[in-house]
Structure 1
Amino acid sequence: MNHVSPEKAGISSEQVLKFVQSLENRNLSTHNVILARGEDVFFEHYWPPFDKSFGHRMYSVSKSIVSIAVGFCEQDGLLCLDDKISKYFPEEAKRATDENLKNQTVRHMLMMATAKPAQNWFAAAPDDRVRFYFENDGVQSRPSGTIYNYDSSGSFILAALAERLTGKPFMEYLREKLFDKIGVSKEAFCLKCPGGHSWGDSGVICTPRDLLKIARFLLNGGTWNGEQILNERYVTEATAKQIDNNPWGLNDFDTQGYGFQFWRTWRNSFFFNGMGCQFAVCVPDLDLILVYNGDNQGKNLAKNVIFEAFFTHIADSMQGGPLAENAASQEQLDAYCAGLTLAAAKGSKHSDFEREVNGVTFAVRDNPMGITKFKLEFDGNGGGQFGFTNAQGDKAIAFRMCENAFGAFPQEGYADEVGTVKTKGHFYRCAASAAWIEPKKLFLKVQIIDEYFGNLGITIGFDGSGKAGLYCAKSAEDFLNEYEGFAEAEKII
């Protein structure tokens, strides 16, 4: 793809600047933004430490990629969308006690219209996630195809279906059918689930540019360089509204209908949608694509902010043809973006109270986190560390004031290549920053930036007489569980 100015693509640099500022003004944790029209990229920016080569966890964007694999399986004559899923998993289906589950079709699963609410596989940690899906003995059930209900585990089964039919990981199958033709990076892959299956509902890792190419392929109706690679019928059905997903009668960005693992949104558009705000938004009537990656887990309004800003400042402001070049506006956009880095804690870098607690150890009463003591240390040069002791022993998180320090999060043994499987000696990379949000209250912001994303807020409030309150709040899929709750602490004399 070519890189051009916003004006050449039919939008002013000023509108692009307003879009980016809308994200920054709401303190979103943005990792990258790409805006493209046709074959031209008119804006691309990465918030350091992220860059164009970073393999980004795409979370539920993975489901849309699985849908493409299912489309190729149908095209290759390996399945029929109206076949029952039990046809392809006969042994596992014997464990199913619910006839609705046995009778649900591939089409119904693509539409998120499955028979039963999924079981929590993170909590159960089964040794085979496919078998676990069919062993669902929950009492709630309905005829498949009748009701939309987001079923992530159903998407996982679709990935397992593609692998069973092709005899290879679905990403390898897509490599042969599509990825090499459109230039998806060789490093793109998918994490695994117990049982040896790809984590198809959440585990795809690829670059933002890879996602842009996949989105462009679909917006082109399944073609690339004039070649019809995937039949247009499947692409059209997959990205069209197949079922209503609006039980509340709202007009939100994500209530415009659902296709085959694709969401519908405003302006007759469709999008890939992943947890934490992993997006590829395709606007056919403008030939326009937004790729956004970040980690805004726990920020309930973040997706609304991104979509409203995109449609207001970009989609609704696009013109039919090129605009006159505006060097001053382009320079202003470039200058603003040059100063952007990964979001950090906001507040004051210093407090007069800092010297009262610097190097002081606090004993912590019994608490959900199992933290027995902690100590804050400030180095006088804008850095410091939060030391603490929990069930694993002595830990420390290095931070900088109002900017990020990068290192390893000290909790050992979270999952690595296989979801839910604890891995001894494994640590996640993280970014940590701190700020005084009140004269006697410090906030520590920790962002996990690895093949798994998550964020943790640690707030410590001091009463000035030797006592403190500690609060930990996390947002992550299946880790940081040791860091949730309140605690009371007192200075050790």
Structure 2
Amino acid sequence: MNTITSTTFPEATGISASCIMDALREIDARGISMHSFLFCKDNCLVAEGYYAPVKKNDLHRMFSVTKSFVSIAIGFLQEEGRLSLDDSIVKFFPEYVPNTSEAHPWLLATTIRDMLSMRSCHASTTYDKFSSKTDWVKSFFTVAPTHKPGTVFHYDTSSSHTLCALVEKLTGMKMLDYLRNKVLNEIGFSKEAYCLTDGFGVSMGGSGLMATSRDLMLFALLILNNGKLNGKQYISADYIKESTSFQTATCVTGPVPSESQGYGLQFWIGEHNSIVCYGMGGQLAILLPEYNTAIVTTADTQGYQGGNQVIYDAIFCHILPELEKRQSPWTPSDEEKLAFEQFMSKLAMRPLNHNKAASEAWNNKFENVNDINTSFLTNFRPIMSSFEWTYVIKKASDAAEALDKNIINETIWDEISFEMSEPLTPSCTGKVSLKCHVFPSIVDSTVDSPVTFEFGFGALKEGTLNMTTHMGNRADEPVPVSMHYAASAEWLSENMLYIRVHLLDTSVGSIHIQAVFGESDITVFLRKQEETLFGEFSGHLYGTRQ
């Protein structure tokens, strides 16, 4: 059954709805691209909002939140007597260490506990995340150790991935399926949730969970209640307490306060005595046990230095003080209820609007189209007119050299086209398309069907990105994708167009296209903010109009 059946207004749990709205307003004002926000207190859901076009039942990439799920799976295996946290990891993978007498002593000494607490013998992730052809698990045992295990904290995703492989090896099941049988099905975890896999079929225990925001809240409530929900103790309270307690210091490597408070067993110790399931880009489950509160966010903070800290700071600045008051519940007025409901229901991702003042100035300057030199309008002022222009990219000849090096990058593109309709109206939309004819055997999906993004002005326009991208820009690592996106654009000046594409799928990130139109040519800057794919959208293009 779904554990989240009790919903109410914040005031019914002793906090004001205004503190939640203030926190979300601050996050929005700081330019964070939020996707969802959920707030539970005393096991009641008091706030739930999704930033359009994100929807309640959408599966979202949770990235390193996955690690906390792996920890719980290991806890269950310990309860079943299949392992001890003090077992050496080598014990379970003899195929990778056939001769222990020749193995490095630091590898042999590495225990499951060391790996859970990010104190393995490796200073960083051992596998090549850009490769689907290498064995990620094997790399943990074959890459040379850097230091004695059980000592210093180093964030090592290969530890989490290897522990996930251990779960799947011992159970004969996918990690998430094992957790479904143990707890997730009973507490209402969505049937559609799944975990991405590496090239060898092992669930990506360090970053692969695809789940809804409610799924993450259910998991957070399980942890907040020390493994007990609906009156049933699913996992040992002692294991929950151990895994969410300080095990090692992180202040030496933590770049921001929220990552400098310490680490448990695949759970972060956060500010203000919080416990955090932490995923790249703003995927967070923030637990405040002292106030019986859990907060879940999904977002995209990639490319925003300190972006996750902005979310933490807004919560601790506006919501925490309300919790600290420990007020008795009260009934909000009908007007207050309506205002909060409308606020949460109208949450939406913001379209581009960086240069509102400049855009208005340009529009005012050229309010009378007849005042504009006809040549200037035709050649330099696309903002004032609809158009369909195609440019031949002059950089395509460099692609052969890139291919020789097995590299796929922006040099593959040899044509870019722009279409604009209904200029200077609120409903103005556009489309940008890129074509590649140079290497059809590699980027075959772009030959007959160009890579196309549709976008709105002052509004996000949704679409599906269909193309073959590449892991780590490698020509021998093609990845066909059909990915949901939402895009908007704005004119930064009379001849400079900026398009931002939000990726809302197994990839969470963004693609940025800046185009400067000349009299008969174009200069384009491409930038992607995504972990492993879409290297084709990085660099500069120059072309002339056909």
TM over 0.5: yes
Query: Match of 2:36, as an amino acid?
Result: N
Q: Secondary structure at the match of 1:173?
A: helix
Cα distance in 1 for partners of 2:255, 2:63 equals 25
The equivalent position to 2:174 in structure 1, one of 156, 169, 175, is 169
Query: Match of 1:21, as an amino acid?
Result: R
Structure 1, residues 73-93: CA drift from partner, whole Å, max 9, x if none? 001101010111000111113
Alignment match, 2:213: 208
The equivalent position to 1:452 in structure 2, one of 507, 529, 537, is 507
Cα distance in 1 for partners of 2:143, 2:48 equals 44
The equivalent position to 1:476 in structure 2, one of 520, 530, 534, is 530
Query: Match of 1:386, as an amino acid?
Result: V
- Trace 1:138-217 onto structure 2 (pairs within 5 A): 141-217=146-222
Q: Secondary structure at the match of 1:360?
A: strand
Shift of 1:296: 2.1
CA contact (8 A) 1:130 1:195 kept: no
Q: Secondary structure at the match of 1:334?
A: helix
Cα distance in 1 for partners of 2:317, 2:333 equals 21
Q: Number of residues paired by the alignment? A: 484
Cα distance in 2 for partners of 1:237, 1:120 equals 28
Structure 1, residues 180-206: CA drift from partner, whole Å, max 9, x if none? 222212222211112221111111112
Q: Secondary structure at the match of 2:179?
A: helix
Shift of 1:251: 7.2
CA contact (8 A) 1:357 1:376 kept: no
Between 205-214 and 82-91, the greater mean CA deviation after superposition: 205-214
Q: Secondary structure at the match of 2:96?
A: helix
- Trace 1:346-365 onto structure 2 (pairs within 5 A): 346=353, 347=355, 353-354=381-382, 355=384, 358-365=387-394
Shift of 1:266: 1.4
Query: Match of 1:408, as an amino acid?
Result: T
Between 145-154 and 25-34, the greater mean CA deviation after superposition: 25-34
Cα distance in 2 for partners of 1:369, 1:357 equals 27
Shift of 1:466: 3.3
TM-score, normalized by length of structure 2? 0.83
Q: Are 1:50 and 2:79 counterparts?
A: no
- Trace 1:25-424 onto structure 2 (pairs within 5 A): 25-94=29-98, 98-116=104-122, 117-137=124-144, 141-247=146-252, 252-318=257-323, 319-320=325-326, 321-346=328-353, 347=355, 353-354=381-382, 355=384, 358-366=387-395, 368-370=409-411, 371-380=413-422, 381-390=427-436, 391=438, 392-393=446-447, 394-412=450-468, 422-424=478-480
Specify which structure has the higher proportion of helix: 2
CA contact (8 A) 2:387 2:421 kept: no
Shift of 1:164: 1.2
Alignment match, 1:5: 9
Cα distance in 1 for partners of 2:334, 2:477 equals 53
Q: Secondary structure at the match of 2:489?
A: strand
Distance verdict in 2 for CA 1:102–1:422, change over 3 Å: farther
CA contact (8 A) 2:117 2:266 kept: yes
Cα distance in 2 for partners of 1:120, 1:486 equals 30
Shift of 1:410: 3.8
Query: Match of 1:299, as an amino acid?
Result: Y
Between 117-126 and 277-286, the greater mean CA deviation after superposition: 117-126
Distance verdict in 2 for CA 1:142–1:357, change over 3 Å: farther
Distance verdict in 2 for CA 1:100–1:126, change over 3 Å: farther
Alignment match, 2:482: 427
TM-score, normalized by length of structure 1? 0.92
Distance verdict in 2 for CA 1:356–1:120, change over 3 Å: farther
CA contact (8 A) 1:414 1:427 kept: no
Query: Match of 2:452, as an amino acid?
Result: A
Shift of 1:250: 7.8
CA contact (8 A) 1:459 1:470 kept: yes
CA contact (8 A) 1:364 1:372 kept: yes
Cα distance in 1 for partners of 2:451, 2:86 equals 54
Q: Secondary structure at the match of 1:178?
A: helix
CA contact (8 A) 2:176 2:194 kept: yes
Cα distance in 2 for partners of 1:398, 1:67 equals 41
Query: Match of 2:533, as an amino acid?
Result: F
Shift of 1:41: 1.0
Q: Secondary structure at the match of 1:341?
A: coil
Shift of 1:432: 1.5
Between 294-303 and 150-159, the greater mean CA deviation after superposition: 294-303
CA contact (8 A) 2:386 2:420 kept: no
Shift of 1:332: 2.9
Shift of 1:175: 1.0
CA contact (8 A) 1:93 1:102 kept: no
**What residue ranges of structure 2 are gaps of 5+ in the alignment?**
367-380, 399-408, 439-445
Cα distance in 1 for partners of 2:66, 2:196 equals 11
Q: Secondary structure at the match of 1:92?
A: coil
Distance verdict in 2 for CA 1:57–1:124, change over 3 Å: closer
Structure 1, residues 290-318: CA drift from partner, whole Å, max 9, x if none? 01012222222210110000111112222
Cα distance in 1 for partners of 2:129, 2:154 equals 19
Between 72-81 and 310-319, the greater mean CA deviation after superposition: 310-319
Cα distance in 1 for partners of 2:452, 2:61 equals 26
Larger Rg computed on CA atoms: 2
Shift of 1:423: 4.6
CA contact (8 A) 1:241 1:257 kept: yes
The equivalent position to 1:436 in structure 2, one of 479, 487, 491, is 491
Cα distance in 2 for partners of 1:287, 1:50 equals 28
Shift of 1:421: 6.6
Between 367-376 and 57-66, the greater mean CA deviation after superposition: 367-376
**What residue ranges of structure 1 are gaps of 5+ in the alignment?**
none
Between 445-454 and 92-101, the greater mean CA deviation after superposition: 92-101
- What fraction of aligned residue pairs are identical, expressed as a percent? 29
Cα distance in 1 for partners of 2:494, 2:98 equals 63
Query: Match of 2:329, as an amino acid?
Result: P
Shift of 1:488: 2.9
CA contact (8 A) 2:127 2:140 kept: no
Cα distance in 2 for partners of 1:130, 1:333 equals 48
Query: Match of 2:431, as an amino acid?
Result: Q
CA contact (8 A) 1:5 1:42 kept: yes
Shift of 1:215: 0.8
Shift of 1:54: 1.5
Between 482-491 and 342-351, the greater mean CA deviation after superposition: 342-351
